[in-house]
């Protein structure tokens, strides 16, 4: 009983100190609208709940982050447009989805760029990640930090993908990005670009045979309920950019900007660990639901990598050469430590 009383006392003191600190700063009463595609209980959703708690604590309860999960404010592209217009304040999404705004962001969606989460961390937390976010400011977006959604895998209702030829003829929902469309065309699939909120219905009604997403997204959005096979193709790793509307950012005081940035950095560390812990669990839960799960042999992964290399080479030509060099250098450095 004493421990609980002491803990409650400690929390009360902490909130009191945060309130006093916030009062000493230039912090106003605000509610920021945060739209995103994942469910509230997905690791991204949990990371955002933590972000909201941190902002509330650091602002002495003055700033509230109101979360709108599950694409309720629209798909990724619609939400980004709303951020640019200032009608929505924040979002988090696959960084590569921003390629229509800045072609450089496509580099983080290059297939088989990363072999591990540590390699991705090295890039997004280094000069390249900072540079990508800095370039977005002139497009009306402020990059705060990077969450993650893990490695993308492939599901479908027709057959397991055990070799490259198994992609042939599959109608797969892909991100609304030219890079993804071209990659899956090269593999012989029929890519169908759709906003994420439409994916479950498209699978259920057999409009498409399958889709590709990280296991946590597949599980928490219940996509496995309308699929028979999960093949661990591990073709793209998804860093996620937490973004704030520049119109909103410009209305904030320096103190407000600092506390939101600090909260975003802390939440990113928390979210990445939650995501990694959950990924293994999600694969097991998908398997337990009756979906057949298969590893793709290393030699087949290499065949796929070589098959789509001309596509990534083509898109690399549109990217700042210095940025490409920075990304490759960070990946090589991280890989040498493993």
Q: What tens digit of pLDDT does each residue of 115-153 get?
A: 999 999 999 999 999 999 999 999 999 999 999 999 999
Per-residue pLDDT of 47-74, as tens digits, reads: 999 999 999 999 999 999 999 999 999 9
pLDDT tens per residue across span 148-179: 999 999 999 999 999 999 999 999 999 988 99
Q: Compute the average pLDDT of residues 21-29.
A: 76
At 167 the pLDDT is 98
Reply yes or no on whether the pLDDT at 41 is more than 90.
yes
* β-pair type (229-245, 292-295): parallel
Lowest mean pLDDT among 93-107, 234-248, 275-289: 93-107
Provide the phi-psi class of 102: left if phi over 0, else alpha when psi is between -120 and 50, else beta.
Answer: beta
Sign of the dihedral defined by the CA atoms of residues 189, 192, 194, 198, in that order: negative
Mean pLDDT of the chain: 93
Asked whether the predicted pLDDT for residue 24 surpasses 90, the reply is no
* Per-residue model confidence as pLDDT tens digits over 279-315: 999 999 999 999 999 999 999 999 999 999 999 999 9
Q: For residue range 171-197, what is the model confidence (pLDDT) as tens digits?
A: 999 998 899 999 999 999 999 999 999
Q: For residues 52 and 146, give the distance between their C-alpha atoms in angstroms, rounded to a whole number.
A: 16
Residue 329: pLDDT band with limits 50, 70, 90 = very high
CA atoms within 13 A on the CB side of 107: 25
pTM, 2 dp: 0.87
Mean of pLDDT values over 94-111: 93
Domain architecture of the chain: domains with CATH: 28-337 (3.40.190.170)
Residue pair 82/35 in contact by the 8 Å Cβ criterion? yes
pLDDT (0 to 100) of residue 1: 47
């Amino acid at each position: 009983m004493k421990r609980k009383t002491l803990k409650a006392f400690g929390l009360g003191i902490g909130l009191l100190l945060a309130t006093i600190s916030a009062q000493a700063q230039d912090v106003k009463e605000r509610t920021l609208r945060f739209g995103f595609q994942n469910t509230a209980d997905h690791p991204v959703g949990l990371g955002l709940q933590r972000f909201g708690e941190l902002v509330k604590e650091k602002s002495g309860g003055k700033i509230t982050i109101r979360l709108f999960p599950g694409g309720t404010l629209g798909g990724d592209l619609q939400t980004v447009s709303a951020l640019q217009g200032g009608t929505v304040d924040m979002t988090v999404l696959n960084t590569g989805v921003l390629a229509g705004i800045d072609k450089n962001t496509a580099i983080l969606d290059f297939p088989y760029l990363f072999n591990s989460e540590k390699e991705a961390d090295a890039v997004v937390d280094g000069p390249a990640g900072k540079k990508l976010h800095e370039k977005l400011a002139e497009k009306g977006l402020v990059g705060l930090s990077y969450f993650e959604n893990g490695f993308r895998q492939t599901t479908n209702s027709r057959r397991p993908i055990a070799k490259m030829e198994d992609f042939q003829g599959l109608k797969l929902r892909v991100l609304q990005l030219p890079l993804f469309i071209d990659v899956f065309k090269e593999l012989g699939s029929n890519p169908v670009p759709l906003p994420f909120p439409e994916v479950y219905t498209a699978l259920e009604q057999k409009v498409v045979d399958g889709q590709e997403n990280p296991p946590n997204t597949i599980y928490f959005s219940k996509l496995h309920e309308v699929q028979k096979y999960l093949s661990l193709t591990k073709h793209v790793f998804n860093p996620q950019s937490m973004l704030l509307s520049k119109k909103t950012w410009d209305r904030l005081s320096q103190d407000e900007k600092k506390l939101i940035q600090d909260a975003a950095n802390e939440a990113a560390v928390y979210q990445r660990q939650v995501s990694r812990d959950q990924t293994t669990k999600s694969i097991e839960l998908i398997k337990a639901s009756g979906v057949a799960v298969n590893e793709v042999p290393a030699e087949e992964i290499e065949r796929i990598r070589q098959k789509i290399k001309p596509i990534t080479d083509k898109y690399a030509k549109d990217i700042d050469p210095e940025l490409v060099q920075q990304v490759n250098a960070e990946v090589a450095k991280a890989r040498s430590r493993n």
